Amino acid sequence: MIDSRQQNSLVTRSLRSVWHPCTQMQHHETVPLIPVTHGKGAWLFDTDGKRYLDGISSWWVNLFGHANPRINAALKEQLDKLEHAMLAGFTHEPVVQLSEQLAERTGHVLGHCFYASDGASAVEIALKMSFHAWRNSGRSEKQEFVCLKGSYHGETIGALAVTDVAIFRDAYGPLLQRAHVIDSPDARQSQPGETAVDVARRAAKAFETLLEQQSDTIAAIIVEPLVQCATGMAMHDPVYLQEIRALCDRYQVHLIADEIAVGCGRTGTFFACEQAAIWPDFLCLSKGISGGYLPLSLVMTRDEIYRAFYDADVTRGFLHSHSYTGNPLACRAALATLAIFENDDVLEANRVKATKLTAALAPLIDHPQASHFRQRGMIWAFDAVIDDADMASSFSRRFFSAALEQELLLRPIGNTVYLMPPYILDDEEIALLAARTQSVFEQVMAQESSV
């Protein structure tokens, strides 16, 4: 018997009227849907007053906790001044300040900022800009793109064309103008005796082989620097980025760095590309840039790209737009986020937190049922070793449910368990996250051995 309270619960109403993202809705017959009422710091709270440690930063967006007092205050102030104004023909202080501060962080190499709302749109913008810049320079035959095995760049039709995650892409295959897919530098592919650097050089060589044959028709390569997140936190050595930067220069191909997930300090430096001491031609940011508050994305590019569009002829301009381009509230949230990076010396503080969390996760590093433990900056991952195919395909959902029972929000990708917490965990939360991740993992793996 379902009583009327259950019938009208938030969960029931949601399942009736909301089509949830990235979900086979039928799975909610067994997998719980959590009705969230509020958040504070690293924690989310549900309608029953239960709490969950947000170990994946609410899909990698939240950097400084939920209901962060400083971001809240900045937004409240902005709200009474200007909620939105169109960015064609108009400008405003938040969008100018944000563009200036981001350009400053690249030493003004990437001095021009184009805005959108979500990550996939930023990717579309970078692809269109690259193609159009070549066309404006008399190289209209450069129309093709290159992406890596396992790449993820978003789920609109254009972004899916440079995405190589079968579960998101395959159903729409006929709609896509597919890109060249080349070997990933994923360090897990090392042969005996090979280092991560060797794997990176081998993968760069595959790119070189492609360029030798067809660089005339290739506009750009798009990569997720250092960590290919959505395919399961595949990490590579920074030398890969140096190698492909050099190849792009040699063969006149643009380098697009999709830092939507890895930017904003996630890998240990503000931009992941800094660890390779290179700059791309286009850099996409989203997710963490607004602190996880509001949809905001942007593409930064170089002066020479900008110049290729600068002309009296309107059609040589970049006429792309979105209704909420450069939204002042979102830009203000981003400015408050950047201010926290400055004021709290966040990158240094994160190094200390990361060392502590890695130490606390030590039992999982050599765990017989876990392989490829890896970490970069504020990302940790390992792969569950599962033989049974049915157990493997349901691992992620079983782990998610078991984690909720232990107050953790964690959503493995396939058999990869990962942590991508907000940057504000205290010592107690670090200890709790590590201990419970291990205990959930062991509980779920015990189901495996009992089959």
Ligand X SMILES: *Cc1c(COP(=O)(O)O)cnc(C)c1O
- 264 vs 329, beta carbon nearer ligand X: 264
Q: Which of 65, 154, 326, 328 binds ligand X (CB under 6 A)?
A: 154
Residue in 42, 199, 235, 260 binding ligand X, rule: CB under 6 A: 260
The yes or no reply on residue 258 touching ligand X (CB under 6 A) is: yes
Residue of 328, 338, 337 whose CA lies nearest to 94: 328
Stretch that binds ligand X, among 34-42, 83-91, 152-160, 208-216 (CB under 6 A): 152-160
Closest separation in Å from C-beta 272 to ligand X:
10
Cα separation, 424 vs 419, whole angstroms: 14
Size of the site for ligand X (CB under 6 A): 15
Query: Considering only 93-101, 147-155, 331-339, 374-382, which stretch makes contact with ligand X by CB under 6 A?
Result: 147-155
Distance of closest approach, residue 152 Cβ to ligand X, in angstroms: 5
Is residue 261 a contact point for ligand X (CB under 6 A)? Answer: yes
With respect to ligand X, which residue has the nearer C-beta, 288 or 402? 288
Identity of residue 62? N
Which residue, 256 or 430, is less far from ligand X as judged by CB?
256
290 binds ligand X (CB under 6 A): no
- Residue among 184 and 286 whose Cβ is closer to ligand X: 286
Q: How far is the CB of 92 from ligand X (least distance, A)?
A: 23
Lookup result for tokens 């760049």 = 153
Q: Which two tokens stand for residue 133?
A: 């810049």
305-364 residues near ligand X, rule: CB under 6 A = none
State the Cα–Cα distance between residues 189 and 240, nearest whole angstrom. Answer: 14
CB-nearer residue toward ligand X: 118 or 281: 118
Closest to ligand X by CB, 118 vs 183, is 118
> Which residues in 94-123 contact ligand X (CB under 6 A)?
118-120, 123
Q: Which of 78, 267, 286, 437 binds ligand X (CB under 6 A)?
A: 286
**Least distance to ligand X, CB of residue 147, Å:** 11
Strand partners, 40: 43
Nearest approach in angstroms of CB 80 to ligand X is 28
Site for ligand X in 10-69 (CB under 6 A): none
Q: Does 164 bind ligand X (CB under 6 A)?
A: no
The half-sphere exposure of 6 on its side-chain side, counting CA atoms within 13 A, is: 3
Q: Supply the minimum distance, in Å, between the C-beta of residue 186 and ligand X.
A: 15
Print the SS3 string covering the chain: CCCHHHHCCHHHHHHHHCCCCCCCHHHHHCCCCCCEEEEEECEEEECCCCEEEECCHHHHCCCCCECCHHHHHHHHHHHCCCCCCCCCCCCCHHHHHHHHHHHHHCCCCCCEEEEECCHHHHHHHHHHHHHHHHHHCCCCCCCEEEEECCCCCCCCHHHHHCCCCHHHHHHHHHHCCCCEEECCCCHHHCCCCCCHHHHHHHHHHHHHHHHHHHHHHEEEEEECCCEECCCCCEECCCHHHHHHHHHHHHHCCEEEEECCCCCCCCCCCCCHHHHHCCCCCEEEECHHHHCCCCCCEEEEECHHHHHHHCCCCHHHCCCCCCCCCCCHHHHHHHHHHHHHHHHCCHHHHHHHHHHHHHHHCHHHHCCCCEEEEEEECCEEEEEECCCCHHHHHHHHHHHHHHHHHCCEECCCECCEEEECCCCCCCHHHHHHHHHHHHHHHHHHHHHHHCC
Residue closer to ligand X by CB (options 169, 436) is 169
Which of residues 129 and 229 has its CB atom nearest to ligand X in the complex?
A: 229
- x/- track of binding to ligand X for residues 405-424 (CB under 6 A): --------------------
What residue is closest to ligand X based on CB? 119
Looking up tokens 């400084």, which residue turns up? Answer: 64
- Nearer Cβ to ligand X (200/272): 272
Nearer to ligand X, 94 or 150 (CB): 150
Confirm or reject binding of residue 152 to ligand X (CB under 6 A).
yes
Under the binding rule (CB under 6 A), the answer on residue 268 touching ligand X is no
Give the x-and-dash track for 220-239 against ligand X (CB under 6 A).
Answer: ----x----xx---------
What minimum distance in Å lies between the beta carbon of 157 and ligand X?
Answer: 12
Q: State the residues that interact with ligand X by CB under 6 A.
A: 118-120, 123, 152-154, 224, 229-230, 258, 260-261, 286-287
